[in-house]
Structure 1
Amino acid sequence: MQKDKERVALISMASSAALAIGKFAIGFMTGSIGLISEGVHSSSDFVATLVTWWAVRISGKAADDAHHYGYGKMESIAALFEVVLLLGAAGWIAYEALKRLSGEAHQIEAAPIAIAVLVVSMVVDFWRVRALRRVAKATGSPALEADALHFLSDMLASGIVLIGMVFVTLGYWSADAVAALVVAGFIVVAAVKLGHQSFAALTDAAPEGASAAVAAAVITVPNILAVERTRVRMAGATPFVDLLVAVSRALPLDHVAEVKSQVVRAVRAQLPHAEVTVEMKARAGDDESIETQVRVIAANRAAAIHRLTVQRVDGRLSISLDIEVDADLSVDQAHAVASDLETGIRNELGADTEIDTHIEPMAAEWLDGGEASSEDYRQIVDSLSKSAEQLGVVTDVHNIRIRNTSIGLIVNFHCRLPPNMSVTEAHAAVDQLERSVRSLHLNVARAIGHAEPAREG
């Protein structure tokens, strides 16, 4: 794409030089102020396309330590330079045309030759407009788009001068000067439009409709609750998009990177090749349950909780939970941890929320130990079997592992329950079996049972 931009800019520059020479030569030969004005215009075109070609080459350079956003704005600077040239040329043409109109009529010779030159100029400009717009659309180049606009105005201006020359051949000698004034007007209009576009790019004005299109695309991405800020600016052909989006605070951290990738893809579907910066803001979703709210509050305080129960008692919210704290903390320190969690919950759910926290020691991450003695193993296996038989619903206690650790014996086992039993009923049954083992063997620190569905038959 960069090579296409440079090639079309170079061809446009060579065309401007050839047209300027031809128009000046025939203009001075025939004495046509309209054609000489076109020669001046084409000369300014040559300088402008020279600057455009240079800017297109520079803008293609990659970002570096000195220019973190690249060199894209060089194209807009070149376009502003072109505006100055256009306004200067328009002023000179208007001055000469008014002087010709206020003075003695100037006879123009060989008008048919001048007409032929104008026809050739229009054909060349038509080809240039098509070529420049094609590459500008493919590459998003503001400099080439400006050149295309410029040469479209040239083609129209040449048409006006051509009409003036036709009237000259019919004996209306002032028509040439009038045509020159119209050319000057076209140049001013093109310069103002081009200057507005270039100034907008240099002052980071957002492309019309871009922010709304980006926001509409991003809000469709799963897990995006709202698009709170959308900023779009152009640096040459590259759009830079800065987004602030709201996501559920319950969104797992390992999903955040994927959501960001989806946002970037959504933006680039609207603005190809955009450089996208996404900032995420966590907030409560409208459909967030109380259980989720409590768990998020606890997670933000690095508090491990379980056995969370939420009730409504006479219209009042009641919450109970178990909180695990470092086993080495004092009662006073553990109470402070629990109180901090309770304060956080009340701040979000209401000051009148009833909260009960049961403090439990957090097991150490690593426990040294080994297999239990054969006697301990035999006694505990026997207790598990008898307790399960007494419960009546727990069967096939198997995969029993008993380990001796610094905090006491840890018992792990699997057992089977009716497959249609509810989780609540299954948990109660296994919990009762665990308590039974701990009550019969005081050296058991923990008992953990894993429930499985009983096999058919």
Structure 2
Amino acid sequence: MSAVQQEAEREKKSVALSSVAAGALLTSLKLVIGLMTGSLGILAEAAHSALDLGAALITFLAVRVSGKPADAEHPYGHGRVENLSALIETLLLLITCVWIIYEAIERLFFKTVEIEASIWAFAVMATSIAVDISRSRALSRAAKKYHSQALEADALHFSTDIWSSLVVILGLALVKVGEWIGAKEMLGRADAVAAFGVALIVIWVSMRLGKRSVDLLMDRAPDGLAAEIIAEACRVEGVLSCKNVRMRAAGPLVFVDMVISVPRTMPLEQAHRTASAVEERVRRLVPRADVVVHVEPAAREQESTVEAIGAVAQRRGLAVHDVRVHDVEGQHLATIHLEVDQNLRLGEAHAVATELEAEVRSEVPGLSRIDTHIEPIETQAALGRLAEEQVYTVRDAVENLVNELDEVQDCHGVTVREISGKLFMTMHCVFDPDLPLIEAHKITSQIEGRLKERFPTLERVVIHGEPPPGGNRKNS
């Protein structure tokens, strides 16, 4: 756990513990004054505060447990204990409401209790309001700062106490007015009515809190959030579509998993970077999100036939190059250079080519003909030596070619290797940087052909075309 996380856990525990102390103080004061005055409203508040004390204790324990890191048995961490504690608090509040409503009905219709609206009754309720305001603000700040539902539920309890205490003060004030104007019996029932009002407020808050707790425990996603995540993901370059967005909250964390589609021709590393970009966008939209993105390959709407053939080969784990598609008199013809292990027999290599062609025809039904050239590829490095005795002869031939071709400014880095009696040559040729690539390729192919004519044992020529250092052009 990082230093920042440790500090956050300490602050959450401190706020929760101070709420326990405040709940104990208010419960004691209300209980004593309620018994002294006989006010059901104050006794109802005492019961309410007692449950707030229990809720604060549950919150404190929940905050302690939720701060534990994820382990093998709890891969999503322990954050759900906050949601569970909030649900328990809801049940406790509803039980209290049943007792308050029952006692209020008894006092309204079946029995009479003498109530003393003393200065102490008003004092304890005023003290309760002051403490409730202080604690609700502190808890609300911590809940928003650390996205803690347990602290938010506790803050809601204390803020509800403010309104319920005001209702009780109103009931006591009406009792006092009844004493002054001689309507004590009629206005004396205001205390029971006030208690009934407290119960209704608590029920309303409890139902809201309970619904939110159940929603989170049942992994209910916020309305419209999945659509926003899909929209954000599709804004990332390379993402074709997004689906199967799932979310679940566990304490302050939100776990998001989703599936995105990228072009099937996209290299693996680029697909990984695209997924990381999607994760970053989701985290901007949903702070504290732990995002897992599954990437699936898909065909682009404007995918070319050459790309489709390459994707089919890649799917089969095959390497192809120099794939060409031609439109000849209304027929689409494809040629493929297929690379296979040089140790395969012809029949085995032909079977690989045939299977590839069949899948390509299925994927690209408009092709009239497919011709595959099978090339053996060495799977291990071949042993060879530098053919130093050939280098000078080859360099002279290269120099003569450079003098004949105006487009070639220079050739350097000529190396010649001998492997299994064959020569392999590499070189760098310098061209004008503004020369079209297709023209540069034609020239290098021409050089390759001329060299192979000059040296029959030359198996392969690799020419690296490049602009001059600094991009300087050849003087005319």
Q: Is the pair's TM-score, using the shorter chain for normalization, greater than 0.5?
A: yes
Task: Check conservation: 2:117, 2:175, Cα contact below 8 A.
Answer: no
Task: Check conservation: 1:210, 1:232, Cα contact below 8 A.
Answer: no
Q: Indicate whether 1:456 and 2:475 are aligned.
A: yes
Q: Indicate whether 1:266 and 2:281 are aligned.
A: yes
Q: Distance in 1 between matches of 2:170 and 2:218?
A: 40
Q: For the structure 1 residues 104 and 414, does the alpha-carbon distance in structure 2 shift closer, same or farther, using more than 3 Å as the test?
A: closer
Equivalent residue runs for 1:241-260 within 5 Å: 241-260=256-275
Q: For the structure 1 residues 362 and 146, does the alpha-carbon distance in structure 2 shift closer, same or farther, using more than 3 Å as the test?
A: same
Q: For the structure 1 residues 336 and 90, does the alpha-carbon distance in structure 2 shift closer, same or farther, using more than 3 Å as the test?
A: same
* Aligned alpha-carbon RMSD (Å): 2.7
Q: Distance in 2 between matches of 1:74 and 1:419?
A: 65
Look up the match of 1:336: 351
Task: Check conservation: 1:51, 1:78, Cα contact below 8 A.
Answer: yes
Task: Check conservation: 2:117, 2:172, Cα contact below 8 A.
Answer: no
Equivalent residue runs for 1:17-36 within 5 Å: 17-36=24-43
Task: Check conservation: 1:125, 1:154, Cα contact below 8 A.
Answer: yes
Q: Distance in 2 between matches of 1:126 and 1:413?
A: 81
Q: Indicate whether 1:303 and 2:336 are aligned.
A: no
Q: For the structure 1 residues 385 and 193, does the alpha-carbon distance in structure 2 shift closer, same or farther, using more than 3 Å as the test?
A: closer
The one of 213, 229, 234 equivalent to 1:219 is 234
Q: For the structure 1 residues 330 and 117, does the alpha-carbon distance in structure 2 shift closer, same or farther, using more than 3 Å as the test?
A: same
Q: Distance in 2 between matches of 1:20 and 1:416?
A: 89
Q: Indicate whether 1:444 and 2:458 are aligned.
A: yes
Q: Distance in 2 between matches of 1:206 and 1:142?
A: 15
Look up the match of 1:177: 192
Q: Quick check: 340-349 or 351-360, which moved more?
A: 351-360
Equivalent residue runs for 1:20-169 within 5 Å: 20-169=27-176
Q: For the structure 1 residues 415 and 150, does the alpha-carbon distance in structure 2 shift closer, same or farther, using more than 3 Å as the test?
A: closer
Task: Check conservation: 1:105, 1:173, Cα contact below 8 A.
Answer: no
Q: For the structure 1 residues 156 and 428, does the alpha-carbon distance in structure 2 shift closer, same or farther, using more than 3 Å as the test?
A: same
Aligned partner letter, 2:161 = D
Q: Quick check: 63-72 or 140-149, which moved more?
A: 63-72
Aligned partner letter, 1:177 = A
Q: For the structure 1 residues 183 and 371, does the alpha-carbon distance in structure 2 shift closer, same or farther, using more than 3 Å as the test?
A: closer
Equivalent residue runs for 1:310-329 within 5 Å: 310-329=325-344
Task: Check conservation: 1:207, 1:232, Cα contact below 8 A.
Answer: no
The one of 205, 209, 224 equivalent to 1:194 is 209
Look up the match of 1:430: 444
Q: For the structure 1 residues 364 and 219, does the alpha-carbon distance in structure 2 shift closer, same or farther, using more than 3 Å as the test?
A: closer
Q: Distance in 2 between matches of 1:121 and 1:384?
A: 97
Look up the match of 1:368: 383
Could you list the per-position Cα deviations for residues 269-294 of structure 1 after superposition, in whole angstroms to 9, with x for gaps in the alignment? Answer: 12222222121111122333332222
Aligned partner letter, 1:404 = E
Q: Indicate whether 1:279 and 2:294 are aligned.
A: yes
Cα displacement (A) at 1:333 = 2.2
Cα displacement (A) at 1:224 = 1.9
Q: For the structure 1 residues 219 and 424, does the alpha-carbon distance in structure 2 shift closer, same or farther, using more than 3 Å as the test?
A: closer
Q: Distance in 1 between matches of 2:287 and 2:431?
A: 58
Q: Indicate whether 1:359 and 2:387 are aligned.
A: no
| Unmatched segments (≥5 aa) in structure 1 | none
TM-score of the two chains, using structure 2 as the length reference: 0.87
Q: For the structure 1 residues 46 and 393, does the alpha-carbon distance in structure 2 shift closer, same or farther, using more than 3 Å as the test?
A: closer
Q: Quick check: 15-24 or 393-402, which moved more?
A: 393-402
Look up the match of 1:205: 220
Cα displacement (A) at 1:99 = 0.8
Task: Check conservation: 2:334, 2:367, Cα contact below 8 A.
Answer: no
Q: Quick check: 250-259 or 162-171, which moved more?
A: 250-259
Task: Check conservation: 2:409, 2:474, Cα contact below 8 A.
Answer: no
Task: Check conservation: 2:117, 2:173, Cα contact below 8 A.
Answer: no
Task: Check conservation: 1:324, 1:362, Cα contact below 8 A.
Answer: yes
Q: Distance in 1 between matches of 2:422 and 2:116?
A: 117
Task: Check conservation: 1:397, 1:415, Cα contact below 8 A.
Answer: yes
Q: Distance in 2 between matches of 1:396 and 1:98?
A: 105
Q: Indicate whether 1:410 and 2:410 are aligned.
A: no
Q: For the structure 1 residues 194 and 430, does the alpha-carbon distance in structure 2 shift closer, same or farther, using more than 3 Å as the test?
A: closer
Q: Distance in 1 between matches of 2:212 and 2:459?
A: 76
Q: Quick check: 315-324 or 23-32, which moved more?
A: 315-324
Task: Check conservation: 2:38, 2:115, Cα contact below 8 A.
Answer: yes
Q: Distance in 2 between matches of 1:418 and 1:145?
A: 69
Cα displacement (A) at 1:122 = 1.8
Q: For the structure 1 residues 373 and 280, does the alpha-carbon distance in structure 2 shift closer, same or farther, using more than 3 Å as the test?
A: closer
Q: Distance in 1 between matches of 2:464 and 2:78?
A: 63
Cα displacement (A) at 1:304 = 3.1
Task: Check conservation: 1:30, 1:108, Cα contact below 8 A.
Answer: yes
Cα displacement (A) at 1:383 = 5.6
Aligned partner letter, 1:109 = E
Cα displacement (A) at 1:342 = 1.7
Q: Quick check: 50-59 or 257-266, which moved more?
A: 257-266
Q: Quick check: 144-153 or 99-108, which moved more?
A: 99-108
Cα displacement (A) at 1:86 = 0.9
Task: Check conservation: 1:407, 1:445, Cα contact below 8 A.
Answer: no
Q: Distance in 1 between matches of 2:209 and 2:429?
A: 80
Cα displacement (A) at 1:98 = 0.8
Q: Distance in 1 between matches of 2:289 and 2:348?
A: 52
Task: Check conservation: 2:332, 2:366, Cα contact below 8 A.
Answer: no
Q: Distance in 2 between matches of 1:97 and 1:434?
A: 102
TM-score of the two chains, using structure 1 as the length reference: 0.90
Q: For the structure 1 residues 92 and 380, does the alpha-carbon distance in structure 2 shift closer, same or farther, using more than 3 Å as the test?
A: closer
Cα displacement (A) at 1:133 = 0.9
Q: For the structure 1 residues 117 and 292, does the alpha-carbon distance in structure 2 shift closer, same or farther, using more than 3 Å as the test?
A: same
